[in-house]
Amino acid sequence: MARRMRDEAFRVEQEQGRYAPHVRPVNELVDALRDQDGRGWMPHVAPWHGGAEARVLSILRDPGPKTQKGVGSGFLCVENDDPTAELQAKIFEGAGIAPRDVTPWNAYPWYINRSPNAAELQAGVGVLKQLLGVMPKTVVVLLQGNEAQDVWRRLLKTHPEVRDRTLEVVSTYHPGRQALFVRDVEERTRRAQHRIDSYQKVGDALRGSVRQP
């Protein structure tokens, strides 16, 4: 089932769990970052996800309109009422990845609803470093789209010690429709399949990490 945020009972449940123990460190970080340097609002991570206990950090570009409070849910969540979230929910499920396995994030985590520029991506680097600091169980980072891949490269350049965590990094296309806006039908098919294969690779990595002693 996707787009659960359309259901009032589900939304209320997420609101009530905003500071549940597993997600508290992440959402307290969000509270501290909101309007930092006048950057504005930033959505919390829904307790539907793993928060600080997640083994997968999934990074997209920037929060979409359905993450806004009032307009949407106020959360980053694969159950938001939009096509990008819906596609993620379906592919994660198909790859055997549970919502609690994942914490969603963005290369530029403040709400702008446009492509972040280079300076904004650099600002996202410090935040990403802080986030990783409260997610000790993370073993896989899923980079979805050019901006996510860009901010990760910037992170490794600025904070090379991140490599010491030996995280598995999986890169693919953004789950939004724009990633398939190419004329070549075969290329569209290839990109769509690449996303599916990449999620499967994440799932395989999780299952492999469980088998290890």
Q: What is the mean pLDDT of each run of 10 residues along the chain (213 residues)?
A: 90 97 98 92 97 98 94 96 96 97 98 95 98 98 98 98 95 93 93 97 89 44
Residue whose C-alpha is closest to residue 58's, from 163, 201, 182, 162: 201
What pLDDT sits at residue 212? 44
Q: What is the domain count for the chain?
A: 1
| Alpha-carbon span 98 to 1, nearest angstrom | 12
Residue whose C-alpha is closest to residue 202's, from 168, 173, 174: 168
Domain interval for residue 66: 4-211
What pLDDT sits at residue 1? 62
- pTM of the entire predicted model: 0.94
| Alpha-carbon span 8 to 32, nearest angstrom | 28
Q: And the tokens for 184?
A: 């070549």
CATH code where residue 141 lies: 3.40.470.10
On the CB side of 1, CA atoms within 13 Å amount to: 5
Neighbouring residues of 184: CB distance < 8 A, sequence distance ≥ 6: none
What pLDDT sits at residue 213? 40
CB 162 within 8 A of CB 192: no
What pLDDT sits at residue 70? 85
Q: Give me the chain's average pLDDT, please.
A: 95
